[in-house]
Amino acid sequence: MSNIIDKINAENFKKDAGAFKIGDTVKVGVKIKEGDKERVQNFTGTVIARDGSGSMETFTVRRISFGVGVEKVFPVHSPYIVKVDVERSAQVRRAKLYFLRSRSGKSARLRSIIEHGAPAAAEATAE
């Protein structure tokens, strides 16, 4: 029984799916079917959680749309996820960023990371 489950998981497993982490601002390209046409719709937001493991792994993306917080949960290995582009990385100290739900404006910002791994605030004061 377990052999069959492992075979199904291996077929649906994406190799390049885990290139983002919690706190990153990502652009998720999702396939949308409208009648007989298919298009890609982007959902941009901050990754606030990753749950599960293997082929059942999911991630939650949150953004503010017209003053209302919108969260979507995407399966990492779904065939409907075309791409996940990391637009910005942030330094976080939590595995889940659920505290962002109660914050808005400047208090909801995360500390950015420059390519070298140093926080952006330290980079700006050094100049």
Tell me the pTM.
0.78
- The values of phi and psi at residue 54, to 5°, are 65, -140
**Spacing of C-alpha 4 from chain mean position:** 30
- The pLDDT tens digits of the residues spanning 55-69 come to 888 999 999 999 899
Give the model's pLDDT for residue 105.
82
Question: Does residue 49 have a pLDDT over 90?
Answer: yes
Give the model's pLDDT for residue 11.
75
More confident site: 16 or 30: 30
Assigned CATH topology for domain 2-126: SH3 type barrels. (2.30.30)
Please, which pLDDT band fits residue 120 given cuts at 50, 70 and 90?
low
SS3 121: helix
- The pLDDT tens digits of the residues spanning 63-118 come to 999 989 999 999 998 889 999 999 999 888 989 999 988 888 888 888 887 665 55
Domain range list for the chain: 2-126
